[in-house]
């Protein structure tokens, strides 16, 4: 069978939009704000910025350059680089999105449920009077979580079927500007609310008393940056394989980091001030601010309800924004899986999308039913969704560390730097990149791995 011609982005802007859309997901909109609130506000933000511009930039250009040089997805890229013995790394890089995508789509289904609930609310209906009860009844319902997950998966796959330019690129061209406009609009609205100043100060002013352990702050920021940028998931290798030779890898990487960081920090302006105001009114204190994953689906609906008549509209716009962010990240993970299937089996895109869609729905059903009809299925004592999440949080740092070892000591950094110069631009960070990818990045990524293992097994109180 004749190998199909490799798809490509229409230009650098399209690539940056697609990669930034992948990075800007659910993690930016709920995890960054509550980590910033937990770890000293401005202290966490400063550490996050420093790590994004060093470790994040290093890992990002590495994956993009591997993809563009090989013109392959992550599954076959390492063989294409001339090192077939390292192809196991491509297999590991493919396992990550294959196992993250199903449970991520379950959470995407939750977002669809809340989007429709707030749509009903702004139309004059009800149903969100008791946010905790609403959430619990939904995730334990016999079929609702599965149906919502299936709808979310079908929409994501429909975009993928249309291809790189006509599907992914055009979808991001619509969703990303709307997402950014809504994020800015909500942040401005929240900032103008009476009493928002206290929450903004809480968010931005460094509070060293609440981050007595700098190691936890660094690890928390590093973990957030790592997963926020879609690193070690095969996504950036796949997206890089569609990048034109004449476009600059370093410039694109800086823009992706900037866009991702901008939305992450902006999400704090949308969420932290209103949560602080709600905590002051309700007496919830730190519990409302440190709500963790429950912040989006339980705490924020309570906060929106406290805003009065405007709360329904604020909640609706917020979940439209969240839905777009969820879709853009799910689309990128789906594409990484589909591209791997296409490159390995040399089959058409439609067939690969069908296979990935079937896999996602079947494996996702474990997480969709994990709090309801299949709640008895608890590998290692965890609900299915939590089990898959914890497993992938361990595997991704392993993959990232191995990629650094491969590039630093087998492939050699000069191969990546040469790819960065392919467009004719000068590269002024040769020494920095070599030191980062060979020594600093592997150690930092291993620190993330160790902290994640300690978190899972509650060792030494290192719960990031």
pLDDT tens-place string over residues 284-317: 655 666 656 678 899 899 999 989 889 999 999 9
Query: Is the pLDDT assigned to residue 64 strictly greater than 90?
Result: yes
Residue 124 has pLDDT above 90, yes or no: no
Q: How confident is the model at residue 282 (pLDDT cuts 50, 70, 90)?
A: confident
Question: Average pLDDT in the 233-253 region?
Answer: 96
Contact 264, 221 (CB under 8 A): no
CB 317 within 8 A of CB 186: yes
Domains, the chain: 12-372 (1.10.4160.10)
> Is 80 exceeded by the pLDDT of residue 212?
no
Any idea which residue has 């008393």 for tokens?
209
Question: How sure is the predictor about 94, in pLDDT bands with cuts at 50, 70 and 90?
Answer: very high
**Which two three-digit tokens encode residue 45?**
């933000």
pLDDT category of residue 1 using cuts at 50, 70 and 90: very low
* The token pair that represents 204 in the structure block: 């931005």
Give mean pLDDT, residues 369-396.
94
The span from the CA of 272 to the CA of 187, in Å, is 10
Q: Which two tokens stand for residue 213?
A: 């352990």
Q: How confident is the model over 139-164, as pLDDT tens digits?
A: 999 999 999 999 999 999 999 999 99
Question: Cβ–Cβ contacts within 10 Å for residue 294, how many?
Answer: 15
Query: Is pLDDT of 280 > 90?
Result: no
pLDDT tens across 427-439, in order?
889 999 999 999 9
């Amino acid at each position: 069978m004749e190998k199909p011609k490799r798809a490509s982005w229409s230009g650098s802007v399209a690539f940056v939009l697609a990669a930034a859309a992948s990075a800007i997901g659910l993690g930016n909109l709920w995890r960054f704000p509550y980590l910033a609130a937990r770890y000293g506000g401005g202290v966490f933000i400063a550490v996050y910025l420093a790590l994004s511009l060093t470790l994040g930039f290093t890992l990002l250009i590495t994956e993009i350059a591997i993809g563009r040089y090989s013109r392959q997805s992550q599954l076959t890229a390492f063989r294409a680089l001339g090192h077939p013995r390292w192809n196991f790394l491509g297999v590991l890089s493919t396992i990550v999105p294959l196992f993250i995508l199903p449970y991520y789509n379950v959470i995407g289904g939750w977002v669809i449920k809340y989007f429709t609930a707030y749509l009903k609310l702004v139309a004059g209906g009800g149903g969100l009077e008791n946010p905790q009860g609403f959430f619990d009844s939904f995730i334990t319902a016999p079929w609702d979580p599965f149906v919502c997950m299936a709808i979310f998966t079908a929409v994501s796959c429909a975009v993928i079927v249309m291809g790189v330019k006509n599907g992914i690129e055009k979808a991001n061209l619509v969703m990303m500007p709307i997402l950014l406009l809504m994020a800015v609009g909500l942040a401005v609205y929240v900032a103008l609310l009476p009493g928002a100043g206290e929450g903004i100060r809480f968010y931005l002013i460094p509070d060293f008393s609440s981050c007595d352990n700098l190691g936890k702050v660094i690890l928390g920021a590093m973990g957030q940056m790592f997963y926020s940028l879609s690193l070690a998931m095969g996504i950036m290798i796949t997206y890089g394989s569609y990048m034109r030779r004449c476009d600059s890898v370093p410039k694109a990487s800086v823009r992706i980091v900037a866009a991702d960081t901008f939305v992450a920090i902006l999400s704090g302006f949308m969420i932290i001030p209103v949560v602080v105001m709600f905590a002051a009114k309700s007496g919830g204190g730190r519990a409302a601010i440190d709500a963790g994953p429950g912040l989006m689906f339980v705490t924020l609906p309570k906060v929106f309800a406290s805003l009065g008549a405007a709360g329904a509209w604020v909640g609706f716009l917020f979940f439209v924004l969240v839905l777009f962010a969820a879709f853009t990240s799910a689309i990128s993970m789906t594409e990484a899986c589909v591209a791997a299937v296409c490159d390995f089996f040399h089959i058409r895109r439609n067939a690969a999308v069908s296979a990935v869609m079937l896999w996602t729905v079947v494996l996702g059903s474990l997480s969709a039913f994990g709090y309801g009809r299949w709640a008895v299925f608890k590998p290692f004592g965890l609900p299915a969704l939590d089990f898959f999440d914890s497993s992938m949080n361990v595997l991704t740092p392993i993959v990232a560390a191995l990629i650094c070892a491969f590039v630093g000591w087998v492939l050699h950094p000069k191969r990546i730097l040469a790819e960065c110069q392919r467009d004719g631009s000068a590269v002024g960070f040769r020494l920095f990149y070599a030191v980062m990818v060979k020594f600093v990045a592997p150690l930092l990524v291993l620190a993330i791995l160790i902290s994640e293992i300690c978190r899972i097994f509650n060792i030494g109180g290192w719960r990031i």
